[in-house]
């Protein structure tokens, strides 16, 4: 537990499932107040609200499409109206789908870029606007991926969006460091979430993914939640502009394990 997080107000985009809900639950354990944004899964968002409350926090769900500028502002307003302030903004919402690049439609490209990269920009902009106008030492956490670093054939749009999140995070961190606004990213590897449910239900795919993880297991959503709590807290007070990989070592070139190469 991080005492300084108690009663802090957070917005989490894409909070109705997976890593978003795990971060919300962890923030609940820290006795924070959480606005849970969702796009279409109202039942998931309701369940996430109950999870946060059961963990010891407060929560409120807001429907909004985060690739739309007005939505990000609505989320700031919801935080202020319901919980009186805004301290932490988590740009978590993301999506992926698989296409060989030669067959990737412009529509699929744009959908992934809009949610994973433009959504991060719009959320960051809305949070910065609040932090700067209220002279707050706010905290922004962007959900990246191991694929900000590892190329991922047939997921070019996804990898491009996460590479974008990396340099966006670094640039904004530098731009607002003197204002004491910290901006960091988290780079999850293979985590047991709905985005991967189909893949990991297939024993062959589960085996081949696990083989790419030096720790030889799939990660748990709460392990990403723990990273988010640390980045949000004062315990990471001298940390800005990083990507904190939570990947069991996936970014360590596991193909070279045992001295191969």
Q: Helix, strand, or coil here: 220?
A: coil
Give the residue with the Cβ less far from ligand BGC, 6 or 208: 208
Per the annotation, the verdict on 158 as an active-site residue is yes
Give the residue with the Cβ less far from ligand BGC, 63 or 251: 251
Give the residue with the Cβ less far from ligand BGC, 49 or 212: 212
Given the residues 38, 60, 130, 158, select the one marked as catalytic.
158
Task: Report the nearest approach of ligand BGC to the CB of residue 94 (Å).
Answer: 7
d(CA 48, CA 228): 17
Print the binding letters for residues 148-187 with ligand BGC: x by CB under 6 A, - otherwise: ----------------------------------------
Give the residue with the Cβ less far from ligand BGC, 63 or 209: 209
Print the binding letters for residues 121-150 with ligand BGC: x by CB under 6 A, - otherwise: ------------------------xxx---
Give the residue with the Cβ less far from ligand BGC, 242 or 250: 250
Q: Check binding of 20 to ligand BGC (CB under 6 A).
A: no
CA 221 distance to own-chain centroid: 11
Q: Is 251 exposed, middle or buried (0-12, 13-18, 19+ CB in 10 A)?
A: middle
d(CA 121, CA 118): 5
Task: Report the nearest approach of ligand BGC to the CB of residue 119 (Å).
Answer: 15
Which residue number is nearest to ligand BGC in terms of Cβ? 145
Per CB under 6 A, the list member of 86, 96, 186, 192 interacting with ligand BGC is: 96
Q: Which residues are catalytic?
A: 158
Binding site for ligand BGC (CB under 6 A): 96, 145-147, 189-190, 195-196, 209
């Amino acid at each position: 537990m991080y005492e300084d997080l108690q009663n802090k107000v957070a917005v989490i985009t894409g909070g109705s499932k997976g890593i978003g809900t795990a971060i919300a639950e962890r923030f609940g354990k820290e006795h924070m107040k959480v606005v849970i944004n969702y796009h279409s899964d109202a039942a998931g968002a309701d369940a996430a609200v109950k999870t946060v409350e059961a963990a010891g926090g407060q929560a409120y769900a807001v429907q909004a499409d985060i690739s739309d500028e007005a939505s990000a502002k609505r989320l700031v307003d919801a935080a202020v109206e319901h919980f009186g302030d805004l301290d932490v903004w988590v740009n978590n919402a993301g999506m992926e789908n698989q296409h060989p690049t030669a067959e990737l439609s412009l529509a699929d490209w744009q959908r992934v870029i809009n949610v994973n990269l433009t959504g991060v920009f719009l959320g960051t902009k809305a949070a910065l606007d609040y932090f700067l106008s209220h002279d707050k030492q706010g905290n922004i956490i962007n959900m990246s991926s191991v694929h900000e670093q590892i190329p991922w054939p047939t997921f070019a749009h996804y990898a491009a969006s996460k590479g974008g999140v990396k340099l966006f995070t670094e640039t904004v961190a530098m731009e607002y460091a003197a204002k004491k606004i910290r901006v960091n990213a988290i780079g999850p590897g293979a985590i047991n979430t709905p985005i991967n449910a189909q893949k990991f239900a297939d024993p062959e795919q589960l085996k081949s993914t696990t083989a790419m993880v030096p720790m030889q297991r799939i990660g748990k959503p709460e392990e990403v939640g723990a990273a988010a709590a640390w980045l949000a807290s004062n315990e990471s007070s001298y940390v800005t502009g990083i990507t904190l990989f939570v990947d069991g070592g996936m970014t360590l070139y596991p193909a070279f394990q045992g001295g191969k190469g």
